[in-house]
Amino acid sequence: MSRFPLSPNPKPTPELERAEIMRDPGFGKRFTDHMALATWTADAGWADRRVTAYASFQLDPATAVLHYAQEAFEGLKAFAHPDGSVWAFRPEANEARLADSCRRMGLPALDDGDMLASITALVGADREWVPVGGEASLYLRPFLFASNAGMSVRSATEVTYCCIASPSGPYFGGDGVQPVDIWFATDLIRAAPGGTGEAKCGGNYAGVMAAQLEAERHGCSQVGFVDAVERRYVEELGGMNLFAVTADGELITPNLTGTILPGVTRSAILQLAEEVGVTAVERPIELRELRTRADDGSLTELFACGTAAVITPIGRFADLDGEHVVAGGRPGEVTLQLRGILTDIQYGRRPDERGWLTRLA
């Protein structure tokens, strides 16, 4: 018996409509028939766990999260394997990070195993929503928020946990893996020492939107951030970590200093470096170093990584000082190799030697 018992949706999406959605699901636009829920109160702790029909929340206008953004979330994917089984990639890492994010946001962490139990129950209920074939997956979004009403500034007295699921198509469409352009915002900062930068919380994303608009005004699709103190070191993107490959065979990523989100994909890539013949190095990277080395050719590849896109090559980056092309603007060899290994493991096309996969259904 699941910790998250199922009350089936009495009005599931008709099969034809679901098939239509699954043909081209996009990303984060359509949601499955169910969601997982639980409620925390100071008196009872976590209770009322269940999987039930996907539905709107009814929220008092004074609900705390709407005013003070006390919220944390996760993002992971369920992958269908050729034999029809469904798997998650390192969900225990997401569960641990969610607990860390909750601590930083003053939210109660879920009880041990609740995140995994909720996604297992949800995927079990919505199994036919897991896309099969291609590079499609069921994106899972666990999140919790202060759901008590009241505008005095104090920590939550009631917290709602929810997990929703969204079928998502291949991040890159028919043209294959396409490099993106990055705008380094040097005036707008994402995270400061002691702040919430290493927590996965909605507030960090709210703070990124203005910089994202600035990037788009400069013709770039993504924004990159530098450190808050010296405005010199690159940190990460709005929702992805950053890696560089050098001509002398190093795979460099900024070390985690408390202002960078510790990505699960980042951690996997560091462990896979050896397999593609590069040496993983975690150290501070100056924006100036990226500029000079992109121009003199000793920076051979640059890419971003995260659950949604896995690995996205960066073909060009720019800031107020000018623009720089990396590797002729084409996806690099190490970038594509790492991406291939990661997705092969995720989709069951390569043995899971590190025990990264957990079966959900």
Q: Which stretch binds ligand PLP (CB under 6 A): 7-15, 125-133, 218-226, 256-264?
A: 256-264
Q: Is 212 in the site for ligand PLP (CB under 6 A)?
A: no
Select the residue interacting with ligand PLP from 142, 169, 207, 306 (CB under 6 A): 306
Query: Could you identify the residue written with the tokens 């795979």?
Result: 251
Span from 47-55, 127-135, 262-270, 285-293 in contact with ligand PLP (CB under 6 A): 262-270
Are the beta carbons of 231 and 290 closer than 8 angstroms? no
- Considering the complex, state which of residue 12 and residue 238 has its C-beta at the smaller distance from ligand PLP: 238
Q: Is 200 in the site for ligand PLP (CB under 6 A)?
A: yes
The interface region with ligand PLP, picked from 27-35, 63-71, 117-125, 264-272 by CB under 6 A, is 264-272
CB nearer ligand PLP, residue 54 or residue 89:
89
For ligand PLP, the closer of residues 168 and 307 by Cβ is 307
Among 86, 223, 240, 334, interactor with ligand PLP by CB under 6 A: 240
- Compose the 39-78 pattern: x for residues touching ligand PLP by CB under 6 A, - for all others: ------------------------------------x---
List 71, 236, 301, 319, residue binding ligand PLP (CB under 6 A): 236
Q: How far apart are CA 254 and CA 64, in angstroms?
A: 35
Tell me the closest approach of the beta carbon of residue 355 to ligand PLP, in angstroms. 17
In the complex, the smallest distance separating the C-beta of residue 79 from ligand PLP, rounded to whole angstroms, is: 14
Could you list the residues that contact ligand PLP (CB under 6 A)?
75, 200, 236, 239-241, 261, 263-266, 306-307
